[in-house]
Chains A and B, each alone.
Chain A
Amino acid sequence: MNGRMKLPTIGIDPDKKITLTYNRKRFHGYVGDTIATLLYAEGVRVFGRSLKYHRPRGLYSLDGESSNTFMNVNGFPNVCAEKTPALEGMQIKPQNVRWNPVFDPLAFMDKFSWAMPAGFYYHMFHKPAALWPTALRFIRRAAGFGILNPETVFEETYEEKYLNTDLCVVGGGPAGLSAALTAADAGLKVVLLEAGPCLGGFYAYRSAPFSNDGAPLYERAKKLSRQAEAHPRIRVFKHAPVVGLYADNLITAFQVGDTDDSFDECYLEIRGRKVIVATGCSERPAMFAHNEKPGVMQPGCAQRLARTYGILPGKRAVFSVGHDLGLEAALDLAGLGVDVLGVADVRPDGQHPDLLQALEERGIPILKGWVATKAKGWQTLEAVCLQPLNGAHTKTVACDLLAASAGMTPLTGLLTLGGAKLAYDDHTGFFLPRKLPEGLETAGRLWGLNDPMAIELSGKLAASRILKDMGKISKNETGALTRRMSTRPGPVRGSKFVCAPGSRKKAFLCFDEDATLKHVDQAMALGFNVPELIKRYTSAGTGPGQGGIPGHNLPLYVAGTYSAPDPRPRPTTVRPPLTPTLMATYAGAGHHLNKRTPVHDLQVAAGGKMEVVGAWLRARRFGDDRSLSPEIDAVRTNVAMLDASTLGKFRLWGPDALKVLQRVYVSDMDRLEPGKIRYSAMCNEDGCVIDDGVVIKRAENDYYLTTTTGRAGVTAQWIRYHTRYEDWQYAIVNLTDAFGVINLAGPRAREVLEALTDADVSNDAFGFGAYREFTIADTFHVRAMRLGFVGEISYELHVPASFMPALWLHIEAAGKPIGITNFGLEAQNTLRMEKGHVILGSESEQRTTLHDIGLGFLWHRDKPGPDPVGGFALRQTENQTGRLKLVGFKTVGTTDAPRDGSPIVDTRIRGYVCTARYSHSLKQPLGMALVDQELQAVGTKFDIYQDGCRGELMHARVVEMPFYDPQGLRMRM
């Protein structure tokens, strides 16, 4: 390994080299590196620039708690380089920089930070108003996280997985692993989520002994990991950060794909009967002047760089810490070759004596009660100032690494999302849950535990509590574990240190938003006294790091600085996503299935232009002729076929079937005779028309009915809902997909049908409004209806869907001698409009009653049996004034038809165009519109406004409907 240390904890594969391009230069690393560790190993120290002040930013942690290492990777902006695995051939660019990260001309902004106080965007640039457009452009250019090129084509693969499990353990550290193993051994199915690429948590990179036998923690981590991964009842998801926790223990997460996976990212939705949160702790940032300068990083980050990636984080290091792990990291790095010049520990006492002795043996000076107060250097760290907490003395030490943290902070975001209320704990200095919601348990370091045995026992104890709840073990077994736990060291006393003495002008509370302690002071001076309000005013914690850096420090600082009646620190609210990811990940594999009719492929082959219409793919038109004249002419003068298979179709039968029909239809279905069709409509309780179709009586108490395409999916529920209080014996089956429908239309349609069947289909035997069942070619049993939606002789042939392609081809063959052709939805739309036939949804909206669109004749107000749904409202609205009514219109002075939906206006909106098309049959634009009462009389003129008309209104005049064949003779021929 070139320049990397060979250690047993290493997480990279030294045999697999990779090369990537960063800022137009090639860099080399190994499989297992993140982008940031690869670049760090290659000497890159400045990774980007800050949002407002364009200050240089470097590697601070390895957990994505800030946007310091956000980069553009293969066209994706805002990729967190410290968490993203480095892959061969990656193209990486720094973001939020002008020239390059080291030399950024906008760095002068840092000198003008005085001009950008807290909330400056709320109260600056407002006056003079003329300045605002210029300021806006400048601010937009200067600010923002990354740029997404809309032309970029992303070729990543996304998947989704829905998991159901007895127990979901969040956190693959020692507590989580112990909990998972205990639960799985007892027979539970367990899903284990670990945000990082490997299990073991903070054991994985530590060489401290696990127990008295001297075995190091990293060996213990490997052992637990092997056990968990080999356990048949544990499913381990590594590199799977959790996004949220919702009601009934629904956990959302995402997994970053490994090279062997079939996805780049996979959205995970886990329903767990129980959840254990063992997310551990992160380090709480230390706040002092220039605390974000490249070269300053968390002790854990420095230690992991060495132990996991084999990289020495610096040559000459100073530590400023508030916990024993910091002392351990200093010793570890010193042992690996870093020249540790000194350790400032903010705690005046309480350090583990073994660690103090080891520091002394190594000759590393320790300054108790001291902290780092200033990081010095131009671009990167060159020296650090150390002071005691009273600021009485100053020591300046030249170094290239400052490992600094104020203490620990528990990762309790998931608990908050789960409904736990957090309160400040004086002993640990943590925000901890007072009571856990049902089904949720916690374990491990987030309670302040530091003793490895205690941490593992806490995991076992959490699992045993769950097992006891589920009746898998007895209370005694849980009690035994509790007793063992009580023999181990409990939570350690936490550091309360918040900020170092000295200037707060460049002591950064939030790296993402360049929010400093001075900004918080300014906000408090203006009267903001609650962390939630200060967060919003200063924008601290509102960046992509999701509050990872300032989340704990802000309430501590506010509580310690502001003299409020209640001085207890209050945490800010945590909201999902705890870890942000791509929208594409949430979309998953993008399964969006459309329905295809039985003759979908035949229509595509015939040149059908398929479009999504509701749930279906339908042929809008055939060929490229948008005038549609060939299709319309075929129906008006010859014969053509339409695929109408999407119509809703139902069988309704049973002793009380008629009562059901009387309830949901406005017409009297008692008058329906076998062999006849009854066209009718359904209304809702308000009398507004919601559906129309035909009903056929096939046998006694046995009906076949059709609905609109859009309502097919809800008709059965609608009928059952409106008969829910009745003790009626009936059944309904949705046959929408069971039957394909061919609409054979045109003056020569009968000619084609006669060629297909021996049945008598003459006008006398099978006239308009009739229903027949017959067989075609001794194979196709057809339910045939004589209808006239398009205004010509028209047969609706319902045939079992599996037979429809064969019948379609059979009809095509029979009609070929006379030139049969296809017609699509758009031609049908024009044809039916010429006849004044409505399509619900086009000629109606939520407020439109049966009478409003001229279908009042369907309503039999005195029909026997139950009153129909909406009957009462129909009586009330029948003669109501002021309603929008459907009228026909012709445009005046133009050959263009207005667009559907265009408003009809005078001094106000008086209605709107429902459907308007150029009529090939009548050689002029026609349309239907819902208009105010004053505009409903034939001959009334009105104006139509169209988007983009620049004030030039289209004129139209109300005319009688139907426009075409007013007597309806052609469809009755």
Chain B
Amino acid sequence: MTEFLRRSPVSLPGIPKTLEVIDHWEVIQAFKGESRGPALIDLSLIPRWDAQLENVKALGREDKDPNPPERPGQCILDQGLLCARLNPWQRIFWNLGLARVSVPDDAACTDITDATVVLALLGREAYGIMEKLSSMDLAYVGTEDLVVLQGPVAHVACQVVVLCGGTDHVGVLVSCARGYGAEMGECLLSAGRSLGLQPAGFGRFSSWINNMDHHNH
């Protein structure tokens, strides 16, 4: 029987080296000739959901409900599951670790995996790339453990999370409406070209986020 594949709106240039099908997504784990420099990675496949209303329960893994961030803008990363509070009544969850946590079967949760795209910029150069596209002060993030910023990137409304596990372990996650995904990917690559930004496969992000979790623990 034919397996119908899910398609990311982002198409990064390069020749795939390793391909893997995960939950109907054809995932490029690595590109040929992938460098260790600053990288742009498509995270469209990671499960994401929105949770609203106060009586929300069972918002993550069954054995452990992450402490919900209380203040708008606050984020928590726990075993690859990122939870961010957008406003007093709304949180979003990004399953960055791709652990076996899917969208909870709860009326308060809405699957937004296909509503947005998430692109990861890895490397210290991420700050320099972002300052070409956004007036948001990412360095402000240094004063908090983890925050989600909501503002324009290339004039498009985005959510931006800065993950920083040390001077060289910097990652900026940019999420925008799925429709903008294709051109946002091109835009980030274009802005990062002079800083050596190149596409990388999902495998690079997986190992990066695992290291990030080690930093946190």
Residues of chain A whose beta carbon lies under 8 Å from any beta carbon of chain B: 159-164, 189, 261-262, 269, 271, 589, 591-598, 600, 615-616, 646, 651, 653-654, 699, 702, 729, 731, 733-739, 777-780, 800-807, 810
Instruction: Tell which of B52, B132, B179 touches A616, judged by Cβ atoms closer than 8 Å.
Output: B179
Q: Are A591 and B155 interface neighbours, CB within 8 A?
A: yes
Contacts of B52 in A (CB 8 A): 654, 731, 733
Given A262-B193, A802-B6, A802-B7, decide whether A161 and B132 contact each other with a Cβ distance below 8 A.
yes
Contacts of A161 in B (CB 8 A): 131-132
Q: Are A271 and B139 interface neighbours, CB within 8 A?
A: no
Interface window among B62-70, B74-82, B105-113: B105-113
* B150 located at the interface, meaning its Cβ lies under 8 Å from any Cβ of chain A in the complex: no
Closest beta carbon of chain A to B161's beta carbon, Å = 17
In the complex, which of the residues A160, A592, A616, A733 has the most CB atoms of chain B within 10 Å of its own CB atom? A733
- What is the bound-complex CA distance between A702 and B109, given in angstroms? 12
In the complex, which of the residues A160, A702, A804 has the most CB atoms of chain B within 10 Å of its own CB atom? A160
Given A162-B131, A162-B135, A262-B193, decide whether A735 and B115 contact each other with a Cβ distance below 8 A.
yes
Q: What are 29 residue pairs bridging A and B, where the CB atoms are less than 8 Å apart in the complex? A: A159-B132, A161-B131, A162-B132, A162-B133, A589-B190, A591-B133, A591-B155, A591-B187, A595-B179, A595-B180, A596-B181, A596-B182, A596-B183, A616-B179, A654-B52, A702-B107, A731-B53, A731-B108, A733-B110, A735-B115, A736-B177, A737-B115, A737-B177, A779-B3, A779-B24, A802-B113, A803-B6, A803-B7, A807-B4
Contacts of A733 in B (CB 8 A): 50, 52, 110, 112, 115
Nearest residue, chain B, Cβ from A597: B179
Contacts of A600 in B (CB 8 A): 182
Interface residues of B, count at CB 8 A: 51
Q: Are A737 and B110 interface neighbours, CB within 8 A?
A: no
Closest beta carbon of chain A to B31's beta carbon, Å = 20
Closest beta carbon of chain A to B98's beta carbon, Å = 16
- What is the bound-complex CA distance between A699 and B108, given in angstroms? 13
- What is the bound-complex CA distance between A731 and B5, given in angstroms? 31
Instruction: Tell which of A597, A734, A737 touches B114, judged by Cβ atoms closer than 8 Å.
Output: A737
Q: Are B6 and A735 interface neighbours, CB within 8 A?
A: no
Contacts of B116 in A (CB 8 A): 737
Contact with A along B43-63 (1 / 0, CB 8 A): 010000010110000000000
Q: Are A739 and B114 interface neighbours, CB within 8 A?
A: yes
- What is the bound-complex CA distance between A191 and B1, given in angstroms? 61
Q: Are A162 and B7 interface neighbours, CB within 8 A?
A: no
Contacts of B156 in A (CB 8 A): 593
* B146 located at the interface, meaning its Cβ lies under 8 Å from any Cβ of chain A in the complex: no
Contacts of B102 in A (CB 8 A): none
Instruction: Tell which of B2, B90, B132, B181 touches A160, judged by Cβ atoms closer than 8 Å.
Output: B132
Given A163-B131, A262-B193, decide whether A598 and B7 contact each other with a Cβ distance below 8 A.
yes
Contacts of B89 in A (CB 8 A): 731
Contacts of A589 in B (CB 8 A): 132, 190-191
Q: Are A189 and B137 interface neighbours, CB within 8 A?
A: no
Contacts of A779 in B (CB 8 A): 3-4, 24
Contacts of A592 in B (CB 8 A): 155
- What is the bound-complex CA distance between A736 and B114, given in angstroms? 10
- What is the bound-complex CA distance between A80 and B24, given in angstroms? 59
Q: Are A738 and B190 interface neighbours, CB within 8 A?
A: no
Q: Are A593 and B132 interface neighbours, CB within 8 A?
A: no
- What is the bound-complex CA distance between A738 and B136, given in angstroms? 26
Closest beta carbon of chain B to A437's beta carbon, Å = 22
* B208 located at the interface, meaning its Cβ lies under 8 Å from any Cβ of chain A in the complex: no
Q: Are A164 and B108 interface neighbours, CB within 8 A?
A: no
Contacts of B9 in A (CB 8 A): 596, 598, 801
- What is the bound-complex CA distance between A738 and B178, given in angstroms? 7
Closest beta carbon of chain A to B61's beta carbon, Å = 22
Give me 5 other A-B pairs in contact (C-beta within 8 A), A596-B179, A738-B112 excluded: A164-B137, A596-B183, A736-B179, A801-B114, A802-B24
Closest beta carbon of chain B to A435's beta carbon, Å = 29
* B184 located at the interface, meaning its Cβ lies under 8 Å from any Cβ of chain A in the complex: yes
Q: Are A593 and B8 interface neighbours, CB within 8 A?
A: no
Nearest residue, chain A, Cβ from B176: A593
- What is the bound-complex CA distance between A504 and B132, given in angstroms? 51
Closest beta carbon of chain A to B138's beta carbon, Å = 8
In the complex, which of the residues B25, B137, B140 has the most CB atoms of chain A within 10 Å of its own CB atom? B137
* B29 located at the interface, meaning its Cβ lies under 8 Å from any Cβ of chain A in the complex: no
Nearest residue, chain B, Cβ from A802: B6
Closest beta carbon of chain A to B40's beta carbon, Å = 15
Contacts of A735 in B (CB 8 A): 110, 112, 115
Q: Are B178 and A737 interface neighbours, CB within 8 A?
A: yes
Residues from 108 to 166 in B contacting A, C-beta threshold 8 Å: 108, 110-116, 131-137, 139-140, 154-156
Q: Are A806 and B6 interface neighbours, CB within 8 A?
A: yes
Nearest residue, chain A, Cβ from B8: A802
- What is the bound-complex CA distance between A271 and B135, given in angstroms? 9
Q: Are B137 and A271 interface neighbours, CB within 8 A?
A: yes
Closest beta carbon of chain A to B44's beta carbon, Å = 7
Nearest residue, chain B, Cβ from A804: B7
- What is the bound-complex CA distance between A697 and B7, given in angstroms? 29
Instruction: Tell which of A159, A593, A702 touches B180, judged by Cβ atoms closer than 8 Å.
Output: A593
Q: Are A594 and B140 interface neighbours, CB within 8 A?
A: no
Nearest residue, chain A, Cβ from B154: A591
Closest beta carbon of chain B to A910's beta carbon, Å = 41
Contacts of A594 in B (CB 8 A): 180, 183
Contacts of A699 in B (CB 8 A): 107
Nearest residue, chain A, Cβ from B90: A731
Contacts of B183 in A (CB 8 A): 593-596
Contacts of B115 in A (CB 8 A): 733-738, 801
Nearest residue, chain A, Cβ from B50: A733
- What is the bound-complex CA distance between A802 and B44, given in angstroms? 9
Closest beta carbon of chain B to A522's beta carbon, Å = 48
- What is the bound-complex CA distance between A444 and B131, given in angstroms? 31
Q: Are B5 and A806 interface neighbours, CB within 8 A?
A: yes
Contacts of A806 in B (CB 8 A): 4-7
Given A161-B132, A162-B131, A591-B155, decide whether A651 and B4 contact each other with a Cβ distance below 8 A.
no
- What is the bound-complex CA distance between A780 and B63, given in angstroms? 31
Contact with A along B167-199 (1 / 0, CB 8 A): 000000000011111111001001101100000
In the complex, which of the residues B5, B6, B140 has the most CB atoms of chain A within 10 Å of its own CB atom? B6
Contacts of A807 in B (CB 8 A): 4
- What is the bound-complex CA distance between A779 and B116, given in angstroms? 21
- What is the bound-complex CA distance between A271 and B151, given in angstroms? 15
Closest beta carbon of chain B to A707's beta carbon, Å = 15
Contacts of A595 in B (CB 8 A): 177, 179-180, 183
Q: Are B53 and A802 interface neighbours, CB within 8 A?
A: no
Closest beta carbon of chain A to B170's beta carbon, Å = 16
Nearest residue, chain A, Cβ from B181: A596
Nearest residue, chain A, Cβ from B155: A591
Nearest residue, chain A, Cβ from B112: A738
Q: Are B155 and A738 interface neighbours, CB within 8 A?
A: no
Nearest residue, chain A, Cβ from B53: A731
- What is the bound-complex CA distance between A319 and B9, given in angstroms? 69
In the complex, which of the residues A161, A734, A738, A800 has the most CB atoms of chain B within 10 Å of its own CB atom? A738
- What is the bound-complex CA distance between A780 and B2, given in angstroms? 12
Contacts of B135 in A (CB 8 A): 162, 164, 269, 271
- What is the bound-complex CA distance between A728 and B99, given in angstroms? 36
Contacts of B187 in A (CB 8 A): 591, 593
Closest beta carbon of chain A to B149's beta carbon, Å = 11
Closest beta carbon of chain A to B156's beta carbon, Å = 5
Instruction: Tell which of B8, B114, B194 touches A262, judged by Cβ atoms closer than 8 Å.
Output: B194
Closest beta carbon of chain A to B2's beta carbon, Å = 8
Nearest residue, chain A, Cβ from B25: A802
In the complex, which of the residues A160, A593, A651, A739 has the most CB atoms of chain B within 10 Å of its own CB atom? A593
Contacts of A739 in B (CB 8 A): 114
Q: Are A801 and B4 interface neighbours, CB within 8 A?
A: no
Nearest residue, chain A, Cβ from B2: A777
Q: Are B7 and A805 interface neighbours, CB within 8 A?
A: yes
In the complex, which of the residues B3, B7, B140 has the most CB atoms of chain A within 10 Å of its own CB atom? B7
- What is the bound-complex CA distance between A738 and B114, given in angstroms? 4
Q: Are B139 and A777 interface neighbours, CB within 8 A?
A: no
